[in-house]
Amino acid sequence: MTNCKRIEFKKAAEKFLKSRPRKEQVRILSQIYKLPSGNHIKKMEGYDNRYHLRVGDIRVIYELHADGVTLIVLVAEIGNRGDVYK
């Protein structure tokens, strides 16, 4: 059973997030920190532990990993709706 969670960002996700206006950054981050629960979350087909979160026209692709004590939410990619899946 996991008692705490840790959120990690890959470099590409962090770079996209920093390029957005401050207000949009706050909106995206507030949804990321609610993970793994929340609205607008779907499991990605073809992957065991990969999900995507919809925040307006922005998509957040993330993976869930557990090491027994900590749930790790790895934000792999953040991008515009049509570009993030390529």
Q: For residue 43, which amino acid is it?
A: K
Domain count, the chain: 1
- We report the CATH number of the domain holding residue 33 as 3.30.2310.20
pTM for the predicted model, two decimal places: 0.89
Residue 46 maps to a domain: yes
The segments of the chain whose pLDDT lies below 50 read 1-2
Residue 63 maps to a domain: yes
Residue 16 maps to a domain: yes
Specify the pLDDT at position 39.
84
**Cα 22 from Cα 26, distance rounded (Å):** 6
Look up the domain containing 34 and give its range: 4-80
Tokens of 37: 């629960």
Is 62 within 8 Å of 73 (Cβ atoms)? Answer: yes
